[in-house]
Structure 1
C-alpha cells in the first residue's frame, strides 16, 4: 500500500466498528487502521440506536474481549433478566401474569448506553494510535482482490480516497458493501418496530403497591432493571432503563398488529398504549420524548459476510434478526471475532480461504437458527402458556449450545466446529422441531385469562445445570455439548406434551429434577 494508506479501513464507528478496531489493534499492534464515522465524536450518550439490552454472548464480548467490565460496572445497569407480563388491562398491575426470575442467574448482562460505550471506545482507540475520521460522508466503496477503496467527503467537505488491504463494512443499514456487490438477502421473517426514548426513569415496580407482588422478587423493587416485556397477540412492548436516567420504549409487531395499530408518530403510539398497555401510557404522560424511530420489515440476511479477497461485513451492515431476546450484540461479537481471526491469520502469513468458508457456514447457521425463533411466532406472544414453554426452551438451546460454543472459545476454531458437526446438526434438528410447534400454536393467537401468577424460571434446575457448564472453565466442550444435547432431548419430550391441547404426561421424581414444578405453574 502507498504511504498514508491503512492496512484496514473500517466504515462505521458504532459499537461494531469500534469494537472490531479495538480487537484488531490489541491483537495486531502493527496494523494501521483507519475508522470512518458519519457522526461527530463525542456522540450523544443517549443515542438513537436500538440495542441497549445485551444477553450472554454480547455481554461476554463487551466485558471480556473488549475489556469493558469495569466500565460497565461503573457506568451502566446490570440486568435482572428478561421479564414478560401477560393480560388485558387491569385495575392493578399485580393481576398480570408474570414470567421471569426471582433472582439473577450467574451470567451478568447489562443495559447499556450505546453512545457512552462508543465515546469510551473512541478515546481508547485514539490513545492506541488508530486513526478515527469522524463527520465524514462515505460516498462509495470499490472492492477487489486484495485492494479495497473507500471514497468519502471529510468533515471539511473535501473529497478523499483511501486504499487498503481490508475494508470492513460496519456502517449499519447504509449497506455499503451490500449495495456495491448485490448481497441483499431476505431472512424470511417479518417484523415491524417503533421505538423512542424518554427523559424519565420508568419503574414497573411503581405500578402496584401490593406487598405480595413485591415479595415475589428476592431483591424487592428491582423488576425495573429487567428488560421488561408487555405481551399481547402479535406484539410486545419493551421497557429498558438506562444508566443516564432515560428509558427506552419499543413496540414490536407482526404485520397484522402493525397494520391494525397504524402508528406513525409519538402521539399515535401513546394513544395505542393507552388502549392496550395503559400502565405504560400513564407512566409516559409527563415524559419528554428524546427521539422517535419507525422501521417496517426490519429483518434481513446477507449472501456473503466474509471474503478472502479482503472485505467483510459486521453488525447491522450484515444481518439483523429481531430485537426480541436482544441478539444484536451477539452477532457483533461473533462477526467481529471471525473477522479479527481472519485478518490476524493473514497478517501471520497463513491462508484464509478455508477459514472464511467454514466460519461463514457457522455464522449463517447461527443466524438461521436465531431467525427461526421468531418466524411466524408473534401471534403467540400473548399466550402465557406458549411463551412459558418457549422461553425455557429457547434459553436452554441458547445457553446450552450457542453460548457454550462462545464461552469455550470454539466459534473461530475450524477444527472444533468440524469435530462437533454431528452433535450440532442433531441439536439444530431438535430446535427446528420445537420452533415448528411454537409456530403452529402461535397461529391461534391465544389470550389466557390472567390469574396474577408468577412463573419463576429461576426454579428450573435444568437451566442451572446448563449455566453451570458455562461457568465451569475446567469442563471441556467434549463433555459439555453432549450434556446439553441430553437435556434438550428430554426437554423436548416434556415441552411437546405441555403444548398439546390436553397435556397428559406424568412427571416422575427423576424427571422433576429437570423441570421442578415449572410444568405445574405453566399449566395452572
Structure 2
C-alpha cells in the first residue's frame, strides 16, 4: 500500500530507496539544504570562541568561593550582559572553555588570533580570571559564528527532521539536546504507524502530531534565549533575593519541561 519512498543518491553514485527518512544529521543539515528549507532563524547573529584547557583549578588553594568542579559554570561579563562564558569540567584536569556574544564584539581580528581573543575575554570576568589563573590551552581555539538555524517545515513527503537538523537556537541552555531528544521521542511512534499503514487515513498527520507540538516547546526555549540576551532573564537569575517558586519554574523549563503546558 506504500507509494514509492524517497530516493537518495550517495556520493559514489549509488541510489537508495527508503520507506521513510529521518534526518538526524545534526549541524550537517542534509535535508534542510537538499530541500531548500532553510530560513531566517529570527535570532541575532552571535559568535562563540571555545577550546579545551588544562584548567589548573585543582592546584588552587582554595578555588573561588562556591565553586564546585563537578558542575558546569556559567558566567556573564560584568559590563556586557549579552556576553557569557561556559566552563565545563572533564576528567584529568581538562575542561571546555568558551565565550559567546555579538559577532562584532567576539570575532577575532585574524584567524590565528582566536586564542588571544578568548583569553582577553576570560580575563575580563573576575571569577573566571581567578579560577583559571594557572590554566593553559590544551588545543587550538575554534570559532563558530551565525550558528542559529531554522527551517520552513520540519517534515515533508516521506521525511521528518530531528534535532539540530531542523532548528538550532543557541548553546546557552543546552536546548539543542532537549529538542533532539524530544523530536526523536515524538517521531518514533509516528514512523511506526507510517510503516504499518495500509491506507492513507491510517498514516499520521505529521503537521498536527509532530511539527506543531514540537515547535511549541521550541518557542518556549526561543523566548528564554531572547530574554537571556536582552537581560530580562539574567536580571531574574542573578537577583540577590531570588523568589523560590520562580527559580523552581525557570529550572523546570531549562531541565526540559518546555512542553509542560
TM range (shorter): 0.7 to 0.9
| Alpha-carbon distance in 1 for matches of 2:131, 2:28 | 33
Equivalent in the alignment of 2:170: 322
Whichever structure has more helix as a proportion of its residues is: 1
| Alpha-carbon distance in 1 for matches of 2:190, 2:92 | 37
- Structure 2: unaligned runs, 5 residues or longer: none
Equivalent in the alignment of 1:311: 159
Residues 187 and 371 in structure 1, CA contact (< 8 A), matched pair in contact too: no
**Which of 180, 188, 193 is residue 42 of structure 2 equivalent to?**
188
Cα shift readout 1:302-326 (whole Å, capped 9, x = no counterpart): 221133x211111211111111121
Are the structure 2 counterparts of residues 271 and 201 from structure 1 closer, same or farther at C-alpha, using a change threshold of 3 Å? closer
Equivalent in the alignment of 1:197: 52
Are the structure 2 counterparts of residues 159 and 283 from structure 1 closer, same or farther at C-alpha, using a change threshold of 3 Å? farther
Are the structure 2 counterparts of residues 347 and 147 from structure 1 closer, same or farther at C-alpha, using a change threshold of 3 Å? closer
**Which of 206, 210, 227 is residue 359 of structure 1 equivalent to?**
210
The Cα of 1:381 is off from its aligned counterpart by: 8.3
2:14 counterpart of 1:160? yes
The Cα of 1:196 is off from its aligned counterpart by: 1.4
| Alpha-carbon distance in 1 for matches of 2:216, 2:92 | 37
**Size of the alignment, in residue pairs?**
242
Structural RMSD (CA): 3.2
The Cα of 1:333 is off from its aligned counterpart by: 0.7
- Structure 1: unaligned runs, 5 residues or longer: 1-144, 215-221, 406-423, 425-524
Residue correspondence of structure 1 range 360-509 to structure 2 within 5 A: 360-375=211-226, 377-380=228-231, 387-388=238-239, 392-398=248-254, 401-402=257-258, 405=260, 424=261
The Cα of 1:339 is off from its aligned counterpart by: 2.0
**Which of 69, 87, 91 is residue 224 of structure 1 equivalent to?**
69
| Alpha-carbon distance in 2 for matches of 1:275, 1:399 | 29
Are the structure 2 counterparts of residues 234 and 362 from structure 1 closer, same or farther at C-alpha, using a change threshold of 3 Å? same
| Alpha-carbon distance in 2 for matches of 1:269, 1:279 | 15
TM-score, length-normalised on structure 2? Answer: 0.77
Equivalent in the alignment of 2:32: 178
**Which of 247, 250, 255 is residue 95 of structure 2 equivalent to?**
247
Residues 56 and 132 in structure 2, CA contact (< 8 A), matched pair in contact too: no
The Cα of 1:168 is off from its aligned counterpart by: 2.1
Residues 51 and 141 in structure 2, CA contact (< 8 A), matched pair in contact too: yes
Are the structure 2 counterparts of residues 315 and 382 from structure 1 closer, same or farther at C-alpha, using a change threshold of 3 Å? closer
Q: SS where residue 205 of structure 2 aligns?
A: helix
Equivalent in the alignment of 1:300: 149
**Which of 119, 137, 153 is residue 287 of structure 1 equivalent to?**
137
Residues 8 and 15 in structure 2, CA contact (< 8 A), matched pair in contact too: yes
Q: SS where residue 237 of structure 1 aligns?
A: strand
Are the structure 2 counterparts of residues 373 and 227 from structure 1 closer, same or farther at C-alpha, using a change threshold of 3 Å? same
Cα shift readout 1:22-65 (whole Å, capped 9, x = no counterpart): xxxxxxxxxxxxxxxxxxxxxxxxxxxxxxxxxxxxxxxxxxxx
Residues 150 and 161 in structure 1, CA contact (< 8 A), matched pair in contact too: yes
